[in-house]
């Protein structure tokens, strides 16, 4: 995700310095006009805005702590990773206590949305900081301020809650059509444009019909998000029974094909229904 996002910033005319824990990934952006550096301190030194896009909260925490000594006073750190709400709030507290600023701004839209500059960006932070960040974020997609620090992560978890559950529902509809004697592809075409229409039915429904489970969003990543959703629900004092079921499904799937696309929920459903399989194509997993 970080690569196409950086390319969108460069295409919009921003001066971009890039650093990655794997140096070759940063160097790959040099041809697009980025200034690639191998030292994290060099990456943040003098920067007014720092953007991080990393795999999970603990990684963000490690990078942030390592970068902090070189971070300019009043610099604005925009973390676009998907983390827990409590982690984002802790990053905000840590930075503001030392004279810097923080916005959590996770995204939805996948690698395709990042490349096209059409990401949905959910931001949490102070209104004045968001106003400063918005012109930069606009190069990557549509940004919306949803509340104070940590609220961006809550909005992303709500997004992932809907995505994770809907993928499983679409899988059930496709398998039901197959098992009950209808053409799954024709069923999908018939209901499109009605109330069941969704991006999930469009993109992941087609993936399931083609049995194309090459990772866009991974099972392992969706499971991480599911667990973060449940952690947020527990902190808020509510119970989400359907999300608990969806989490259990992804937990089972993660034991065998964690690197598959999360639309591989269909495979898990077929395993619950021996003898039932959608289509004759072999599974594409990598």
Give the residue numbers marked as catalytic: 156
Question: Which long-range contacts link 16-23 to residues 24+ away (Cβ below 8 Å)?
Answer: 17/42, 17/43, 17/47, 18/43, 19/43, 21/63
pTM attached to this predicted model: 0.85
User: Minimal CA–CA distance to 52: which of 39, 63, 68?
Assistant: 63
pLDDT tens for the chain, 286 residues long, are 899 999 999 999 999 999 999 989 999 999 899 999 999 998 999 899 999 999 889 999 999 999 999 999 999 999 999 898 999 999 999 999 999 999 999 998 888 899 999 999 999 999 999 999 999 999 999 999 999 999 999 999 999 999 999 999 999 999 999 999 999 999 999 999 999 999 999 999 999 999 999 988 899 999 988 998 999 999 899 999 999 999 999 999 999 999 999 999 999 999 999 999 999 999 999 8
d(CA 41, CA 43): 5
Residue 23 neighbours by CB under 8 Å, 6+ apart = 36, 38
Helix (H, G, I), strand (E, B) or coil at 134: helix
CB contact at 8 A, 10 and 32:
yes
């Amino acid at each position: 995700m970080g690569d196409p996002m950086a390319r969108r910033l460069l295409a919009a005319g921003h001066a971009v310095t890039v650093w990655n824990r794997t140096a070759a990934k940063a160097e790959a952006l040099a041809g697009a006009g980025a200034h690639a550096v191998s030292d994290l301190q060099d990456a943040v030194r003098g920067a007014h805005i720092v953007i991080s896009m990393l795999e999970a909260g603990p990684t963000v925490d490690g990078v942030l702590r390592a970068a902090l000594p070189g971070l300019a006073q009043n610099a604005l750190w925009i973390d676009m990773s998907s983390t827990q709400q409590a982690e984002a709030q802790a990053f905000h507290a840590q930075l503001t206590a030392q004279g810097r600023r923080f916005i959590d701004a996770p995204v939805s839209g996948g690698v395709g949305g990042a490349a096209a500059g059409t990401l949905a960006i959910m931001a949490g932070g102070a209104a004045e900081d968001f106003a400063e960040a918005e012109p930069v974020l606009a190069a990557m997609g549509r940004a919306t301020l949803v509340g104070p620090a940590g609220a961006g992560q809550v909005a992303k978890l709500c997004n992932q809650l809907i995505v994770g559950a809907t993928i499983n529902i679409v899988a059930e509809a496709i398998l039901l059509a197959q098992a009950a004697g209808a053409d799954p592809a024709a069923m999908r075409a018939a209901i499109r444009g009605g109330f069941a229409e969704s991006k999930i039915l469009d993109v992941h429904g087609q993936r399931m019909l083609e049995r194309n489970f090459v990772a866009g969003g991974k099972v392992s990543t969706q499971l991480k998000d599911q667990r973060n959703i449940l952690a947020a629900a527990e902190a808020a004092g509510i119970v989400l029974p359907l999300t608990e079921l969806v989490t259990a499904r992804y937990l089972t799937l993660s034991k065998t094909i964690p690197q598959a696309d999360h639309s591989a929920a269909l495979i898990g459903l077929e395993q619950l229904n021996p003898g039932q399989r959608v289509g004759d194509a072999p599974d594409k997993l990598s």
